[in-house]
Amino acid sequence: MTEMGLVLYLCTTADIWSAHNRSFFGTTVHWIDPAELTRKSAVLACSRIRGKHSYDAIAALLEQVHMKYNINQKVLLTLTDNGSNFLKAFREFSCDATDVVDGREARDNSLGTAEGANGAELSEDDIVFTDMQAAMQRSDTSPDVEYSLPPHRSCASHTLNLIAGHDSMTANDPSYKRLYYSTMAKCSALWNKASRSVQSAEIVKEELQTSLIVPNSTRWNSHYDAVDKIRAVAVLSEPKLHTVCEKLTVATFRPNEITFLNEFCSVMKPLATALDILQAEHNCFLGFLLPTLVSLHLQRMVCGLLLHWQML
């Protein structure tokens, strides 16, 4: 963590996830190396958490991590998903970005040394530590406990995924709804059978010479990928897909449902591509966001015109 002492501005991310009936809290930090002008990242925390994931408990956890590494005055913003408790934590306890910058400049001026201006660590007397257990207890008993969190930004990929998922499930057209739910119900039945039974998975592999992709809620493109895999199987050999459904005692797809799979994937492919761009591990930057959204909007308009033309 010595490198963080040489930079003035940082960005952190925070997330909570569950695995094997246990919850975990993770925090990462990101900065630009002043010498090489390259982006650097590090993991600050990955610890198990117990109890309710309330907004004040989240605020206490994140503040503790920032204080532990003495970066609370350097973090310009923290990025999270759109979880309601995360949003409320920052709504209640975050400060304005200008306050962070002003606080940083005031801190450097008060140090009055070149080392301080370059982000050297404070002495032990200047560091304020938070007792996490005590903080959690205070948050349960005193709603007036104040925490100091940096400004907040919601993850663009998560927001985009929520918008698309919400729109696809809440379309007002009755015929679309019926077709959407009947098709997705049969897809879900296939995924459930193939993922919960070794024998069923072997039937799929034997008949289709491939495996199905099972959606995962933590992978935002997985639903599209899973649907597209079934669509591709149907395009290559619709009779084999029917055979698999019959052997797994799952309702077979009707011709209009196969057509729906094709159209669904055609419409959703630009979104899936946009999410792949915005979720890139290394080669993605803030400057990619607006061009990606503009391109997605234009592709959506083109798809809409093509579908309208086909219906005429």
The pLDDT tens digits for 75-109 are 999 999 998 999 999 999 988 655 555 555 555 55
- Which residue range(s) make up the domain with 184? 158-311
Q: Clarify whether residues 148 and 168 are in a common domain.
A: no
Position 49 scores a pLDDT of 84
Please tell me the predicted confidence (pLDDT) of residue 120. Answer: 42
Distance between CA atoms of residues 262 and 23, nearest Å: 38
For 251, other C-beta atoms within 10 Å of its C-beta total 13
Beta bridge pairs of residue 16? 25
Q: What is the pLDDT of residue 103?
A: 55
pLDDT recorded at residue 97: 53
Of 127, 154, 181, which residue sits at a domain end?
Answer: 154
Using DSSP's 3-state secondary structure scheme, residue 53 falls into: coil
The total of structural domains in the chain comes to: 2
How far is Cα 73 from Cα 88, in angstroms, rounded to an integer? 21
pLDDT of residue 98: 53
DSSP-derived letter for residue 253 is P
- Tell me if residue 14 falls in helix, strand or coil: strand
| Pair 168, 143 in one domain | no
- CA distance to 48, 65, 245, 251, 298, per residue, from 284 (Å): 29, 26, 40, 42, 21
β-sheet bridge partners, residue 257: none
Spatial contact of 262 and 231, defined as CB atoms under 8 Å apart = yes
> Do 20 and 128 fall into the same domain?
yes
- Which of 45, 52, 43, 62 is CA-nearest to residue 23? 52
Report the pLDDT value the prediction gives residue 176, as an integer from 0 to 100: 85
Cα–Cα distance between 14 and 150 in angstroms, integer?
12
Give the residue ranges of DSSP H helices in the chain. 55-68, 84-93, 97-111, 114-117, 132-141, 156-169, 174-196, 198-208, 222-236, 238-247, 255-278, 289-311
76 CB contacts (<8 Å, ≥6 apart)?
9, 10, 11, 97, 100, 101, 150, 151
Q: Of 99, 133, 154, at which residue does a domain stop? A: 154
Are residues 136 and 166 located together in one domain of the fold? no
- The reply to whether 166 and 288 lie within a common domain is yes
H or E element at residue 82: none
Same domain, 143 and 209: no
**Number of neighbours of residue 17 by Cβ within 10 angstroms:** 12
Lateral strand order in the sheet of 10-19: 39-49, 22-32, 10-19, 75-80, 152-154
How far apart, in whole angstroms, are the C-alpha atoms of residue 109 and residue 56? 32
Helix or strand (DSSP H, E) at 151: none
- pTM greater than 0.75: no
Quick check: 126 and 98 in contact, CB under 8 A? no
- The list of the chain residues with pLDDT below 50 reads 110-133, 135, 138-142
pLDDT given for residue 111 in this prediction: 41
Same domain flag for 164 and 286: yes
**Statement to judge: residues 149 and 171 lie in one domain:** no
Q: Do residue 149 and residue 212 come from a single domain?
A: no
Mark which of 154, 186, 205 sits at the end of a domain.
154
Q: 131 with 219, same domain?
A: no
Alpha-carbon radius of gyration of the chain? 25
Residues 150 and 216 both lie in one domain: no
Residues 142 and 206 in one domain: no
